[in-house]
Amino acid sequence: MQIISRISALFIMLMLLCAPSLAESTTRALLVACSDFETQDDLGAATSGNLHMVGSALISASIALGNLSIEDGTIGTADALGHAVTDAFCDADEDDLSILYLCTHGVLSSSDDGQVYLLLGDGQTESPLSGAQLYALIKEIQGEKLLILDACYSGALIGRGQPKTDPPSDSRPPQPGFFSPFLQDSSIHVLTSASGSESSWYYDSEGLSSGAVSYFASALSSGLGLYGSAEADLSGDGAVTLSELHRYLSVAVPSSSCQLLSTRASGLNLPVAQGAMLSRPLMGFSYGTSLLPANDPVLDFSFTVTHDATSVQYRVIDFIDGSWNWDNAKTFLDEGDEGDALLSAGRKMRLLSLEDIAPDEGGYLMLQVFSVRENEVLLCSERLIAVQPAAGVSDLSIKCRSGLQKPGRQELPIAVKLSVPAELTVSVFDPSGALVNRLTASQLTRPSPDNVTHLYWDGRDMQGKPVSSGQYTITAEARIGAKRHKATAEITVGEANSAK
């Protein structure tokens, strides 16, 4: 994991708030953080801060303390992790949900095999943990399992891209990633903080009181309602599905692209906070569209100020040459209620013009919103912003292998290339033209060095069932300016493709 600057010491102070679990099911969670290493930089209090945030959100969601286990800097081997998993989830049954959150370094193998491992460390012992080992540790848990990996390159453990230095050739279709053992078990859902080619970032928490130090953990906790409002509840029905959480994180964590492996993400309800567990000076963020036209790049959003005499600081980072331009971020203050840069408590509506910052040719920006009170500067919200030129040249294309041999047991990597930011919809249709699955719907594209959005289809329909053998069409659609563009690819599903 990457650390932007040194963080101060942070102690986990979980409030003793308990509520009985639902009679028909029980949610349990094991939160694991590794911070002391021999071969990698120590993560210090950063990982403890993540446990504080995630643990507080889960307790607020009525997970009894007896069902929440925390291992902070005590796991250095796979055996130690296995014992912790057994202790935490031994009573789980088929109706239960078991959540394992693991925060640590993600590292490349010392041999040149391109493998990515999670690094376990307790200050005395250090050992790598592969995806296959992790699968073996959780596969026997009864019921639904949600594995949350907060680590650099963590997406590689589920086949979501591999670390690379050069983008793939335009003439070469994407090659299959590593086989993911998690694919074979539909009861396992995996959410990662980054793809296989990205770092997972932390921010400076010096002087911080609430413990939010990881971009991913902070957004994850906010999405589940840590501050009283579940920001990931995109449908407004009071619940948060795993699919909603992933979609929320795709824009709420601009610095890295969260990845999801799940056959039933839209049907898995997550624990949602029943009330605010923590507070901060700025809460309840609501954003309008994040896709802005280059000729009028104005972001519409609102938030609630909880304390009088609060200042708001905005920081905007642009994406240049394949990476976020952290060193040249532009920072400025909100004018305040009376032009004195101070805001009183209450709901605030903002129209933020990015005219002098947004690239005319289109591109991506990251907005960070901080509260400033006395000597404390606290990150309260982030947003990925895409700027689309008024007249973009269409080069929408889709590439993938010509066949998927074993639906439900393999994945087909799909590369959609688009030169400008847009909202992208990718669908799978059968020979009759009927919709089989929607891989993404009106989803904002993300920045990448090669302007490619990577998607994956496991050969299942929207009910999570493997499709029958035959010919299928994958369609990518995007609106650029006033025009809608479309690209397609034909594939064959079934055992007949073993030689393809």
Question: Is the model's pLDDT at 3 over the cut of 70?
Answer: no
Residues 6+ apart with CB under 8 A from 490: 402, 471, 472, 473, 474
CATH entry, 282-388, from 2.60.40.2550, 3.40.220.10, 3.40.630.30, 3.40.630.10: 2.60.40.2550
Strand 435-444, strand 423-429: pairing: antiparallel
Q: Tell me the per-residue pLDDT of 96-119, one tens digit each, with 9 for 90 and over.
A: 999 999 999 998 876 656 688 999
For the record, the structure tokens of 476 come out as: 């990518």
| pLDDT recorded at residue 229 | 86
Residue 143 phi, psi dihedral angles, 5° rounding:
85, -160
DSSP 8-state symbol, 126: E
CATH of region 397-497: 2.60.40.1220
The domains spanning 282-388 and 397-497 adopt the same CATH topology = yes
Least confident residue range of 99-108, 206-215, 309-318, 329-338: 206-215
Which tokens sit at 216? 């991913």
CATH class of 2-270: alpha beta
Confidence of residue 168 (pLDDT cuts 50, 70, 90): very low
Can you tell me the mean pLDDT for 234-246?
94
pLDDT of 170 above 50: no
State how far the alpha carbon of 22 is from the alpha carbons of 26, 220, 225, 265, 490, in Å: 6, 23, 19, 21, 46
Check residue 86 and give its pLDDT.
Answer: 97
Calculate the dihedral angle through the C-alpha atoms of 257, 262, 267, 268, rounding to the nearest 10 degrees.
-80
Q: How far apart are the first and last CA of the chain?
A: 38
pLDDT value of position 395: 82
Distance CA 182, CA 180 (A): 5
State how far the Cα of 44 lies from the Cα of 206, in Å rounded to an integer: 13
Please classify residue 63 by burial: count the beta carbons closer than 10 Å to its beta carbon, then call 0-12 exposed, 13-18 middle and 19+ buried: buried
User: What pLDDT is stored for residue 496 in this prediction?
Assistant: 55
Kindly list the domain boundaries of the chain, sorted by start residue: 2-270, 282-388, 397-497
The pTM of this model reads: 0.89
Q: Is 60 exceeded by the pLDDT of residue 171?
A: no
**pLDDT tens-digit map of 356-381:** 888 878 899 999 999 998 878 888 99
In single-letter form, the type of residue at position 185 comes to D
Q: Using the predicted structure, report yes or no on whether residue 318 has a pLDDT greater than 50.
A: yes
Would you say 394 and 477 are in contact if contact means Cβ atoms under 8 Å apart? no
In the structure, what pLDDT confidence band is assigned to residue 274 with cuts at 50, 70 and 90? Answer: confident
Residue whose C-alpha is closest to residue 309's, from 357, 352, 264, 372 = 372
CA–CA separation, 189 and 202 (whole Å): 24
